[in-house]
Amino acid sequence: MSNTYLIINFGGPRDLKEVEGFLKELLTDQEVIRTPFPSFLHRLLFTRIAKKRALKVIPEYEKIGGRSPIYEDTEKMAATLRQCRKAPVLTFHRYLPKTHACFLSAVKQIPEDHQIRVFPMFPQFSYATTGSVALFFSRNLCGQSLNQLSWIKSYATHPLYLNAFEQQIRLCLSEQKLKEEEVCLLFSAHAIPRKFVCTGDPYEKECLLSFYALKKRFPQAVCHLSYQSQFDKQEWLRPYTSDVCEEISTWAQGRKTVVVIPLSFTSDHIETLFEIEKLYLPVIRKQGLTAIRCPALNHHPEWVQAILTIMEQEETLPNQMLVRHPTHSCCSVCMPSCCVCKKK
């Protein structure tokens, strides 16, 4: 059986005109924002919220060049993989609706005897990211195409992913002329609501697995894991990156340089180029410490090789295995004293 490869990513506005549409697609996704409202009411409410939020976010995009680089980076990665693999490599940008029709048309053209091996640019699995794409496919692809999909679910502890990540961090330290024993490495992952984890999302566990695996590779550094990009006032995974930065003198344990590393982001975009660079680093510097942002993996050569190997050799799952089945109960292992979800 021949293979067609599919790279999936978050997507991001390619210019300022796409910001509102991007936010609308994101916020109306009920895998990302879960409310008890019927679908039509949720969509109506969050379409309005997206319109208002765009007014706040557009100036942030202006400060990083008027667009998100994630679309171009994903397309560039696909072109590189296409050249290396000598096989078709498609891309899917979850929250760029203007690209969806072209993608769905391309999938229909894939020969029936091809397996579609799906590689998410999300190393740690969450129903709010990889799972959302799987649900989109289940609603928009025909049965034949769905049966062709073979997913790499995640690769949070895959040695090649960890090797690429380690090399990117060491390159950053080398460029800054820093020694491992001189720094505090603050790994910042995208947060999800705590209630997602309490109802079965493995994301926090996979982030911890990645963090501890990388921490072992930097035994002389002070290492911490935190979570960023909370959207509303509900409880999210902790500790929050913003809180850690406010109290960084304590967390750094005497180290004078803090390197903030985007753990769950494989491409630089608004949450690294603006949120980390413009919001978190200045807070650290105000406390008399040196603050540096480590770039995401982007197009690091070892990362390219890691993708080539993982998407070819890793075990796969069918699409339906990645779709969340809604539940109103907490997981059975969640202790009532610490669970923020309300059991029913």
Kindly report the average pLDDT of the chain as a whole number.
Answer: 94
Considering the domain boundaries, does residue 341 fall inside one?
A: no
Neighbouring residues of 244: CB distance < 8 A, sequence distance ≥ 6: 186, 224, 226, 251
The reply to whether 131 and 213 lie within a common domain is no
Total count of domains within the chain: 2
Domain encompassing residue 244: 159-293
Mean pLDDT of the region 245-253: 97
Residue 312 pLDDT class (50, 70, 90 cuts)? very high
Which amino acid would we find at residue 157? Answer: T
The reply to whether 149 and 214 lie within a common domain is no
The reply to whether 45 and 145 lie within a common domain is yes
Residue 327 pLDDT class (50, 70, 90 cuts)? low
d(CA 119, CA 82): 13
Mean pLDDT of the region 294-308: 98
What's the pLDDT at 329? 54
The reply to whether 15 and 137 lie within a common domain is yes
pLDDT at 343 over 90: no
Tens digits of residue pLDDT in 208-233: 999 999 999 999 999 999 999 998 88
d(CA 274, CA 298): 16
The reply to whether 12 and 151 lie within a common domain is yes
Considering the domain boundaries, does residue 183 fall inside one?
A: yes
Mean pLDDT of the region 122-129: 98
d(CA 76, CA 96): 17
Residue 330 pLDDT class (50, 70, 90 cuts)? low
d(CA 39, CA 26): 14
Considering the domain boundaries, does residue 327 fall inside one?
A: no
d(CA 292, CA 296): 13
d(CA 286, CA 291): 10
Residue 198 pLDDT class (50, 70, 90 cuts)? very high
Which amino acid would we find at residue 318? Answer: P
- Model-level pTM? 0.93
Considering the domain boundaries, does residue 216 fall inside one?
A: yes
Residue identified by tokens 């807070």 is 283
- The two tokens of residue 200 are 């079965």
CATH number at residue 271: 3.40.50.1400
Neighbouring residues of 144: CB distance < 8 A, sequence distance ≥ 6: 112
Mean pLDDT of the region 39-64: 97
pLDDT at 91 over 90: yes
d(CA 246, CA 242): 6
Residue identified by tokens 């510097």 is 285
pLDDT at 240 over 70: yes
Considering the domain boundaries, does residue 339 fall inside one?
A: no
- The two tokens of residue 92 are 């899917």
The reply to whether 10 and 105 lie within a common domain is yes
Considering the domain boundaries, does residue 337 fall inside one?
A: no
Mean pLDDT of the region 135-142: 97
Considering the domain boundaries, does residue 137 fall inside one?
A: yes
Rg of the chain's alpha carbons, rounded to an integer? 20
How far, CA to CA in Å, does 325 sit from each of 16, 150, 174, 201, 328? 35, 19, 46, 11, 10
Among 220, 198, 196, 225, which residue's Cα sits nearest to residue 209?
Answer: 225
The reply to whether 189 and 138 lie within a common domain is no
Mean pLDDT of the region 271-279: 98
The reply to whether 147 and 46 lie within a common domain is yes
Q: Of all residues in the chain, what percent carry a pLDDT higher than 90?
A: 93
Tens digits of residue pLDDT in 144-186: 999 999 999 999 999 999 999 999 999 999 999 999 999 999 9
The reply to whether 10 and 138 lie within a common domain is yes
Q: Helix H segments across the chain?
A: 19-27, 39-62, 70-85, 100-108, 130-140, 143-148, 159-175, 194-198, 203-217, 241-246, 248-251, 270, 281-285, 301-313
What's the pLDDT at 336? 46
The reply to whether 17 and 114 lie within a common domain is yes
For the range 104-109, what are the long-range contacts, defined as Cβ-Cβ under 8 Å and sequence gap of 24 or more? Answer: 104/140, 104/141, 107/141, 107/145, 108/142, 108/145
Residue identified by tokens 């990156």 is 241
Mean pLDDT of the region 297-317: 97
The reply to whether 180 and 89 lie within a common domain is no
What's the pLDDT at 331? 53
Q: Is 175 exposed, middle or buried (0-12, 13-18, 19+ CB in 10 A)?
A: exposed
Considering the domain boundaries, does residue 304 fall inside one?
A: no
Indicate the range of 128-137, 281-290, 291-300, 326-335 predicted with least confidence. 326-335
The reply to whether 100 and 144 lie within a common domain is yes
Q: What are phi and psi of 81, to 5 degrees?
A: -65, -35
Strand order, beta sheet including 114-120: 89-93, 2-9, 114-120, 149-151
pLDDT at 40 over 60: yes
How many beta carbons lie within 10 A of that of residue 35, not counting itself? 11
What's the pLDDT at 335? 46
What's the pLDDT at 233? 86
According to DSSP, the residues that pair with 150 across neighbouring strands are 117
